[in-house]
Structures are given as C-alpha cells and as structure tokens.
Structure 1
Amino acid sequence: MTDLIAPHGGTLVELQLPAEEAEAEKARAAEYPSWDLTERQLCDLELLLNGGFSPLTGFLGRADYERVVQEMRLTDGTLWPIPVTLDVSEAFAGTLAPGSRVALRDPEGVVLAVLTVDELWRPDREAEAAKVFGTTDGAHPGVAHLRERSHPVYVGGRVAGLAEPVHYDFTHLRLSPRHLRERFARSGWRRVVAFQTRNPMHRAHVELTFRAARQAEANLLIHPVVGMTKPGDVDHFSRVRCYEHVLKKYPEQTTALSLLPLAMRMAGPREALWHAIIRRNHGCTHFIVGRDHAGPGKGSNGEDFYGPYDAQELVRRHADELGIEMVPFQMMVYVKERAEYAPIDEVDESRETVMQISGTEFRRRMREGLEIPDWFGYPEVVEELRKTYPPRARQGLTLFFTGLSGSGKSTLANAVMVKLMEIGGRRVTLLDGDIVRKHLSSELGFSKEHRDLNIRRIGFVAAEITKNGGVAICAPIAPYAATRRDVRAMVEETGGGFIEIHVSTPLEECERRDRKGLYAKARAGLIKGFTGIDDPYEAPETPELAIDTTDCSPDEAAQQVILKLERLGFIDLR
C-alpha cells in the first residue's frame, strides 16, 4: 500500500502491492478460497486499488458500514456517503472466518487482489435501501439491485492488490488518480473542474461545461462513468466515441477526457457527494453538480425520487470538509431569440421562447429516424448514435411470451414466428421453453433456483440475438417477476427492444386443455412445485400486451402481436 500526497486532492491511498510482494502473494493465493467478482464488485475493487476510493483500505467492516448507512461517515468521522461492500453467497461465507484470506478474481479467473477477512455479517438490506436511497421502492435501480442481485452476506476486510483489472478498450483514456494528478502537474493545471456524465454530450452539456470552467477559472476534465450506470443507458463504447467528437469543440490544451470505472448506485444527493470525493481523489479542485444529479428518474408513484436541486444542497452542506469546490448549475435551455443556451433561471419565459428536447423525445426521434435539430445536438454525435440505435424497424427485438402451462404460449409463439418470417427483414429465432430445456438446460431440475437459472439462460441468448439485429421469440412459463425484470434488463442493455406478452389464459382453461396431464398429476400430488397449483405464478403487472387465448384462434392472437409491433414501430407493414 502506498500513500501519495500531492497538491491536487490530498492523500491518495493506493492498495497495489510492490511487484515482488505481489508475485509472492499470487503463488500463495492459489491455496486461498476464491471469489469471482461481480461486475459491480470489479468496479469497486479497481477504485479501491488505484486510490479512487481513498481513504478506504478495503471493503467496509460492519461498524464502518453501519455508520456510513446511518450518518454518511466512517467510524473515524471521515465523510463517506455510500457503502462499499463485498457481498457473497451463504455457501461461500460458510467457508470463511475472521483471519481468512480470499483470492478475488475477475471473470476470467485472474487473481486481482487478496482480501483478509475481518468479519462477516448479514445486513438489513431494506434499512440500507431506505437510508442510502431514501426509498424502498423497487422501481429504484439501486433498491432493485440490493433486493434481487446482491448476495446475503457482507465480508469486510483489508485488500492487497496483486494486479490491475485488464481493459482492452480506450486504454489511452483510462487514467488512474495518480496518472491524472501527474498529467495536471505536467500541464500546469492548478485548477481543474470535473464534469460527471453517464449520457452522450449534446450542445447543452458543452455550453454548461464552458460556463463552469469560465466561472471557476479552471481547466476542464470530462470524466464520464464507464462502469455500471442505469439499466437502459447508452453503452459506454458509443458514448466514448461521442465524447471524442465533442472534445474537438473545446479550445486545444484546455480540456481533457478520462474514463471512470465506477459502478453508479443512482443514489441522487448521496451519490453527488460521493462523486465529488472521487473527483477530489483524482486531483480535481472543482466539481459540477447539475439538476437531479445521479437521479434515476421516477418511482412507482410517477414522481421523481429526488428534488431537482437536492444534490446541490447536500454537497453545499458539507462544503467545508469535502476538499473540492462545487460549481452548481441549473438546467440549460436553448433560447430561440438569443440563438444560444442559457440557465433556465436566467430566461424570461414571458418574452423569450424556450426550446427543449427531453431525453424521452430524443429517443423517440432516434427510434423513428426523425430529424434532430442542430441547436440540440452536434451532427457527428447524432450520426454516431444513429449507428448504435437505428430506427426501431431495424433494431433487434425480443418477444417474451409468459403464462401458465397450457395457456397457448408455444402455439402463439410459433404463429408469430411464421408471420415475422413471412414479412422478412430480420432473422427470427424461437426459444421455446421445452426446446431450451432439452438443448440448453437439460441438467436442470424444477426448483426455484433452477427455474430462475433456466430463464436467465434464455435471456442471455435472447440478448445476444437482439444485440445482433435479430428477433428472439421466447416462450417459457417464467413465473417470477424479478427474473423477468432481469431478462428485460439484459436485452435492453443491448439497445434492442423488449416486448413482454402475457398469455393470460385462466388457470381453469389451462387445466381443461392439459394435453400432457401435468395439472392432473400436480393435483394428485405426483408433481411438486407445479406453477399455478402449489407454486405461484406472478402475473405481469404492466406487460406491453396481454392475450387470453380462451376465445381466439392462434391466428387471431398472432395478429394482435403483429399489430402491436407495427404500432410500436418494430415492423412496417406499408
């Protein structure tokens, strides 16, 4: 572990061992229990190792965790608003004890670090959600991750780095805190304002950053997140190509671009505070906090999770101890009469015309191939995004049929497949539940765990088909809402479409059909855990389409699907 003290950002705590020690520890690590890091844990480990999470020296122990959750402070009083924890399965936790050493590995099995276990505990994740995110609404992506994707046991302990995580993309832009500090020093940048983003940059963002740099009398660091962001965000490969176009809009030698491998929590005000600390560690002196910073949008009640300037207020309250100065900004809007952007609070809307395109409207125009005005986006950025997100009629697509056994899913899926092949334009693949069970999941049983795993395998294959512009038609029972949400997220992360179709045929009709005799066996107790009898089916609450096949033919039901796809723009029947 090394500490670097520099003019920019104060003390930097790096956790990489010297080369000789690292090699020796790698040899010993072959004997340690191994944990394969999740995507979030991999991001967290990288920022622990390179000092981005200074002053942390590992994953939080229980006392630090509880005080961070309750008070946004470590036990020594240091301001730290987001818990950085290592969550593991019950089975793995059972192999550990205080003093154990754990080899932390990347997805390819490369050991990156060794964790010395201080303690293990089972957190109250609902309490964590309520305090950190200010809500327990499952529509919040951070809450959903805690409930559905995190493991039940937390492991706290110090970390010793053996190797840096490997990246093959944009390596020239992946600058660690040390490298950024050294670059600033070489360039004579005494004042640096950082801009956080997880979205492509358009003209409003460029104008905002120009103004912020001028206001702070500082150079500008564009510092986008390329770890985990909000599900459905533009992939970082497309965004970085857009940032490289935008970089050319700034005067030479005034602006730098560097990528941050952060796993965002979308925690609004607390996250803004966290982002400021992280940018201080990277050597910045100022940090832009805009409207609804790190907010995930609206909750189940249709209202925003956080107020538009809650983040600015929280950062302002802790200004004296942050070590970095906030540059607050309101929403930037285009004023027609001025032919320029201005903060919304500087516009007289009684005499001036405000022009805006919301994120929803921008995506609609992209989907439908409509014009994006030059005042909104740079043509080269828009063109880059059109390559990644073509109009819906050329996008990949997953049709996910879900319903009880005997509801007519497979018949309907086959009919839709044939109609889409008749229309042409895309390759179509059917992932029927029985077929997948035979060829992809033959070793699985019918426990909840195995049923979930089977559906996630279907989702993975569907996402790959969708990513490559095809149509995946899935027809499993998929009884659990959380698993279906995971599949939707997998597919939507590819930039393609996801249409959930609930084949809502009632249980009584499904039993009457019972071609395979499965319901009768379940009623007789010969089959245990049968969906709809002694295991629940969680019906979709807001599917894109619901079809009861009781009183309609397969052809009529398939036509409903085709008409829905046409209305949504995924096919063109003209």
Structure 2
Amino acid sequence: MANKPHGGVLKDLIARDAPRQEQLAAEAERLPAIILTERQLCDLELIMNGGFSPLEGFMNEKDYDRVVEESRLADGNVFSMPITLDVSQQVLDETKLKAGSRVTLRDFRDDRNLAILTVDDVYRPNKAKEAELVFGGDEEHPAIKYLNTQVHEFYIGGKLEAVNKLNHYDYVALRYTPAEMRAHFDKLGWSRVVAFQTRNPMHRAHRELTVRAARARQANVLIHPVVGLTKPGDIDHFTRVRAYQALLPRYPNGMAILGLLPLAMRMGGPREAVWHAIIRKNHGATHFIVGRDHAGPGKNSKGVDFYGPYDAQHAVEKFRDELGIEVVEFQQVTYLPDTDEYMPRDQVPAGTKTLDISGTELRKRLRTGAHIPEWFSYPEVVKILRESNPPRHTQGFTIFLTGYQNSGKDAVARALQVTLNQQGGRSVSLLLGDTVRHELSSELGFSREDRHTNIQRISFVAAELTRAGAAVIAAPIAPYEESRQAAREAISQAGTFFLIHVATPLEYCERTDKRGIYAKARRGEIKGFTGVDDPYEAPAKADLVVDVSKQSVRSIVHEIILMLESDGFLDRA
C-alpha cells in the first residue's frame, strides 16, 4: 500500500532466520526470566508484531520521559502512551538486572519464553507526573488507580528480540499482524481503508455510520475491535466477535472485513485516541474514526466526565500530518421510523420523529428478555447477545452475610438455602464461615492478613459458582471493610453481589452464646476474637441491614427474598 507505517518502517520483530531463532531459544532458557502479566503480554505482542511501530522494545527513561511530557519519543516520533515494563524490587534483586543485561520475558499462562530484552536502563518513574500528564490526574481514573495500586516501582527499558509468538486458541484466522493486514489489503486491492475501533457490540447505527464514512471517502471498512483488556464490565470478546461476524454480511458488496486487536486499553481519552490512530496506521488504514469521548472511562463519582466530548478528536487532529492518517469524526446517527432509515442527528429536520435505545436500556432489555426491535439491531446479533446475557431469573448471584459470631447469620443462611431450594430454578450453594475454614483455609490463622486471604478464597469460589448460574450464600464474619469490598469487586465480575449486614448487637450475640466461645475469648483462651480483642468494621454500604435481636429468622429471609424478587432473580414469568 502507498501509506507507510508510523515512523517509516514497520518494526516486525518476529525473527525468521532459523539458525538465529534456535540460538535465541537456547539463550532464553539460560537467562533469568521475568513473568509477564496479561497487560504486559498484550503490549509485548504489539511491540513484536509492529503494531506499536516504531517501538522496538519497552521504553527506556529518555523515551518514557518525553512521551509523558510531549507525546513524542526521544527521536521526535509521535507516540502518546507510555509502554513500559514494570518490575518490583524483589524481581530486580533476583535477576540482578542492570544496563547491558539480557533477560527472558515469559508468558505466565504456559511458561513459554517469548522474547529476550537487552536492558537499556532500570529507572524509577514519576508516577504522579505520569498520572497527571497522560491521564489527567483524577485519582478515580481507572488507569491512575491501576498505576497507583498495580504497577511496580521500577521500569525496565530496552529492545526486544522475539523468541516465540504468543499462543492464541480463539479466532486465529482473524488475528492479523500489521504486515498480514497490509498484505490482505493489497490482495483485495484496497488502497483506502477506514478503521473502526470498538470494545462494544455493533448494531445497525454502527453499521450505518461506518458505511457512510466509507462511501464519503470511496474507501473500505476495517472493523478492528479490541480483544485484549478493555473496561471492566464490558461484554466479553467471545460474544462480541460472534456478533461482529454475524453483522459482517450486512455490509454491501464485501465492503468490510474484521480483524482483531490484542490491545490492553488504558481508557486514556485523548492520549489513547492518538495511540489508536498510530496502531491503525501501522495496520495499513488510511482513515480512522474517532468517536465522541473516544476511549474515555465515563464519569467520576461526582458525575463529572474525565475528558471533554471532543478532546480526543482535537488530539488526533493535532498530529494528523505527522501520523499520516485522516481523522473521521464519529457521527451520531438516529433512527427515523417514518422513513425506516438512519440519519446523522445534525441533519434531521426539526419536528421529525426519531427513535433511540441507550446502552442502559439495551442492557435492561437483555436482562429482562424484553423485545429489541429490528430497527435497532439485526436479529442474528440480538440472538447472540441473548445467548450470552440470559434473563435475570437464570443468572447467578451471591448473598454475602457478614456479622459477629452468633449474630444469627448462619441461621439466616441455612434458612435462605432451604427457601431457595424449595422455589427451584437454580442450584444453591452454602459457604458457611466454619465450613470454609475447615475445608479451604485450615492452615490460616486469625491475623488481619489471614482473615483477608480467607475472604478472598470464599470470593473466588463464590464468583465461579455465580458465573455458572448458581445462587451462592456466603456467611463469614468478614470483619474488615477492605476484604468485603474486594469480595464485592471480584464476585461482581461474575454476577450480582448482595451484601447483607446482620447487625445484631455484640451484647446480644454474647448473651445468647450457648457454646461459650465469647466467654473463652474474654478469659484470654482465644486470641484475636472479633468483638473482644479484634475489631469489627461495620459495612458502610450494605444492600440490606437486619438484626436477629429484633427480627425473626423467617422475617429476615422474607426480606432477602423480596429483594431478590424486586431485582428479577426469582421472576420466571
């Protein structure tokens, strides 16, 4: 194709010389190794295959500093997102890495050696500066949270030599490297290509806007969805890819093709939009659709958008000439029922009837099984979405009961299990605190760290059962807010989480303790006992608060059942 990769040369690092490949593979076995995280694997793949050209490795300090400050590499090439390899002090101590060292980068999933990195430098980044200049500085931004809580204190910069490609077992035929994508365009005779970035399913409006963009530029369409890491809560990529495949025949005359991008998104708004444009230029696109609030994470807890609606478009436009890719502004289109067509909103005559379905409304209709009209989405796409979004009454959920020892939470849990089993419709699993301690956590003590580990084990089991459609009832003491919040976050990725605070007063729990456990704790025979010599942090935001000293177990169970019914979990109508 006529257009050149970003930086002039496509930096495809996959070695093709057999003797050299064998030499690298042997060396990789001898070198110290760094085990890469999922995000680091996504970055590594796109460095090695040229998706991040002109990068040839993880950024050294000079490149990192200038990218953070100016959206440029040290050599002046535009690059807007820091691509860094973070490591802990422990890893540095174990590997003894310094400038000139070589280290193997290994896949955490199968222990395969993927690349050898020759270290330029090991440096401590200014995370506060990175957070402010790259992502805008709001501590609630997911990328800043990740930076502050997940990213280690040191970065390693250096060039890579590829040893093996990453193994993928899904949609292999759709995973084009930049060189393969360019070759495919050449084979098809395409010289003008509009790339469309998405992390969501596509419906009729998306098809309409991409067709309009292509026809206006006498171009073809590359549907290029992200299948690496996206925003938590997004629909899984398996469902999305099936939906894209179903949509593809709806394009006229073979106008569009589908290719998958193994990118780890940062939800970085303007910076991310420039980064996306670079990636699509490397894949051979000549035009790139930049949406309203492109790659933005939405709003913070105060309801304020992290980025302005057009910041991303302005950012890409600023570098358009250097990037060599044209910006196509995302047009908001709306449906006109009287003429059965979609039209850009700014072209709709005043007084014309229009119809739209928001993302929130679509999710509600999928959840409840309500009708989704054909003017909004194609039946074959809706069918796929329904398969992956079953009605609420078939979905799994977790009821997480927390409270003091002898608060009545175990009695409520058992009674709730019986009630749900009586109603039928889904399997019911009961995870009582004592049972879990005996079966899963027998080696743990009662330190704050061990208690936290115990709750995370419960969360893991509950999440897996919830994902499989079960009703899970967990009833640990769970005295710490941090542990309960971590449980909510983990289980919510698999289904719905309800926190029930069994707020029975400590005095009542102790007075009615027939087993004498509190008395032993008071005498010092049991150490670290919640409510005696260890604190209980009352939940700040429980979904339901109950009290066995004032309510019967039967009435509490009834409250929980009503809560489940109001959310549609027990409605099989």
TM-score, normalization: structure 1?
0.90
> Which residue number corresponds to residue 243 of structure 2?
242
> Which residue number corresponds to residue 365 of structure 2?
365
State the shift of 1:563 in Å.
0.9
Sort the Cα spacing of 1:210 and 1:109 in 2 relative to 1 into closer, same or farther, 3 A. same
Does the 8 Å CA contact 1:216/1:327 hold for their aligned counterparts? no
Cα deviation code 1:185-214 (max 9, x no counterpart) = 121111111000111101111111111111
Residues 531-550 of structure 1 mapped to structure 2, 5 A cutoff: 540-550=539-549
Report the Cα distance in structure 2 between the residues aligned to 1:154 and 1:244, rounded to whole angstroms.
Answer: 39
Sort the Cα spacing of 1:419 and 1:116 in 2 relative to 1 into closer, same or farther, 3 A. farther
> Which residue number corresponds to residue 338 of structure 2?
337
> Does residue 50 in structure 1 map to residue 52 in structure 2?
no
State the shift of 1:72 in Å.
2.2
Sort the Cα spacing of 1:63 and 1:432 in 2 relative to 1 into closer, same or farther, 3 A. farther
> Which residue number corresponds to residue 134 of structure 2?
132
Report the Cα distance in structure 2 between the residues aligned to 1:401 and 1:326, rounded to whole angstroms.
Answer: 52
Cα deviation code 1:374-410 (max 9, x no counterpart) = 1111111111111111110011222233445554443
> Which residue number corresponds to residue 66 of structure 2?
67
State the shift of 1:278 in Å.
0.8
Report the Cα distance in structure 2 between the residues aligned to 1:67 and 1:520, rounded to whole angstroms.
Answer: 63
State the shift of 1:115 in Å.
2.5
Q: Which moved more, 1:69-78 or 1:483-492?
A: 483-492
Q: Provide the identity percentage.
A: 53
> Which residue number corresponds to residue 472 of structure 2?
472
Sort the Cα spacing of 1:49 and 1:8 in 2 relative to 1 into closer, same or farther, 3 A. closer
Letter in 1 for 2:392: R
> Which residue number corresponds to residue 276 of structure 2?
275
Does the 8 Å CA contact 2:199/2:230 hold for their aligned counterparts? yes
Sort the Cα spacing of 1:38 and 1:481 in 2 relative to 1 into closer, same or farther, 3 A. farther
> Which residue number corresponds to residue 76 of structure 1?
75
> Which residue number corresponds to residue 436 of structure 1?
436
State the shift of 1:544 in Å.
3.1
Report the Cα distance in structure 2 between the residues aligned to 1:117 and 1:181, rounded to whole angstroms.
Answer: 31
> Does residue 12 in structure 1 map to residue 13 in structure 2?
no
Cα deviation code 1:229-283 (max 9, x no counterpart) = 1111111111111000100101233211000011111112211111111111111
Letter in 2 for 1:87: D
State the shift of 1:291 in Å.
1.7
> Which residue number corresponds to residue 412 of structure 1?
412
Report the Cα distance in structure 2 between the residues aligned to 1:356 and 1:263, rounded to whole angstroms.
Answer: 31
Cα deviation code 1:51-106 (max 9, x no counterpart) = 11111122222333233233322223322222222223332232232144332222
Report the Cα distance in structure 2 between the residues aligned to 1:324 and 1:535, rounded to whole angstroms.
Answer: 61
Does the 8 Å CA contact 1:413/1:474 hold for their aligned counterparts? yes
Cα deviation code 1:425-480 (max 9, x no counterpart) = 11111223332232223334455554444333333322221222212222334455
Sort the Cα spacing of 1:500 and 1:271 in 2 relative to 1 into closer, same or farther, 3 A. farther
DSSP 3-state at the match of 2:459? helix
State the shift of 1:292 in Å.
1.7
State the shift of 1:569 in Å.
0.6
Report the Cα distance in structure 2 between the residues aligned to 1:487 and 1:216, rounded to whole angstroms.
Answer: 50
Letter in 2 for 1:362: L
Does the 8 Å CA contact 1:491/1:498 hold for their aligned counterparts? yes
Residues 134-533 of structure 1 mapped to structure 2, 5 A cutoff: 134-138=136-140, 140-348=141-349, 350-403=350-403, 405=405, 407-478=407-478, 484-494=484-494, 496-505=495-504, 517=517, 521=521, 527=527
Sort the Cα spacing of 1:261 and 1:522 in 2 relative to 1 into closer, same or farther, 3 A. farther
Report the Cα distance in structure 2 between the residues aligned to 1:389 and 1:43, rounded to whole angstroms.
Answer: 27
> Which residue number corresponds to residue 111 of structure 1?
113
Does the 8 Å CA contact 1:8/1:285 hold for their aligned counterparts? no
State the shift of 1:549 in Å.
4.1
Does the 8 Å CA contact 1:112/1:163 hold for their aligned counterparts? yes
Report the Cα distance in structure 2 between the residues aligned to 1:351 and 1:34, rounded to whole angstroms.
Answer: 65
Letter in 1 for 2:131: A
Does the 8 Å CA contact 1:8/1:181 hold for their aligned counterparts? no
Sort the Cα spacing of 1:500 and 1:334 in 2 relative to 1 into closer, same or farther, 3 A. farther
State the shift of 1:520 in Å.
7.4
Report the Cα distance in structure 2 between the residues aligned to 1:41 and 1:522, rounded to whole angstroms.
Answer: 51
Sort the Cα spacing of 1:8 and 1:65 in 2 relative to 1 into closer, same or farther, 3 A. closer
Greater CA radius of gyration, 1 or 2? 2
Report the Cα distance in structure 1 between the residues aligned to 2:530 and 2:133, rounded to whole angstroms.
Answer: 36
Does the 8 Å CA contact 1:105/1:113 hold for their aligned counterparts? yes
Q: Which moved more, 1:315-324 or 1:143-152?
A: 143-152
DSSP 3-state at the match of 1:244? helix
> Does residue 89 in structure 1 map to residue 107 in structure 2?
no
Letter in 2 for 1:456: Q
Report the Cα distance in structure 2 between the residues aligned to 1:88 and 1:163, rounded to whole angstroms.
Answer: 22
Does the 8 Å CA contact 2:3/2:286 hold for their aligned counterparts? no
State the shift of 1:284 in Å.
0.7
State the shift of 1:297 in Å.
2.0
Report the Cα distance in structure 2 between the residues aligned to 1:263 and 1:213, rounded to whole angstroms.
Answer: 27
Give the length in aligned residue pairs. 567
Does the 8 Å CA contact 2:52/2:279 hold for their aligned counterparts? yes
Letter in 1 for 2:466: T
DSSP 3-state at the match of 2:78? coil
State the shift of 1:49 in Å.
1.1
Sort the Cα spacing of 1:493 and 1:237 in 2 relative to 1 into closer, same or farther, 3 A. farther
DSSP 3-state at the match of 1:120? strand
Gaps of 5+ in 1: none
> Which residue number corresponds to residue 120 of structure 1?
122
> Does residue 27 in structure 1 map to residue 26 in structure 2?
yes
Does the 8 Å CA contact 1:404/1:477 hold for their aligned counterparts? yes
TM-score, normalization: structure 2?
0.90
Report the Cα distance in structure 1 between the residues aligned to 2:80 and 2:130, rounded to whole angstroms.
Answer: 12
> Which residue number corresponds to residue 562 of structure 1?
561
Gaps of 5+ in 2: none
Letter in 2 for 1:11: V
Sort the Cα spacing of 1:487 and 1:509 in 2 relative to 1 into closer, same or farther, 3 A. same
Does the 8 Å CA contact 1:523/1:533 hold for their aligned counterparts? no
Report the Cα distance in structure 1 between the residues aligned to 2:112 and 2:538, rounded to whole angstroms.
Answer: 41
State the shift of 1:327 in Å.
0.2
Report the Cα distance in structure 1 between the residues aligned to 2:387 and 2:40, rounded to whole angstroms.
Answer: 31
Sort the Cα spacing of 1:488 and 1:78 in 2 relative to 1 into closer, same or farther, 3 A. farther
State the shift of 1:164 in Å.
0.8
Does the 8 Å CA contact 1:232/1:489 hold for their aligned counterparts? no
Cα deviation code 1:171-192 (max 9, x no counterpart) = 1111111100111112111111
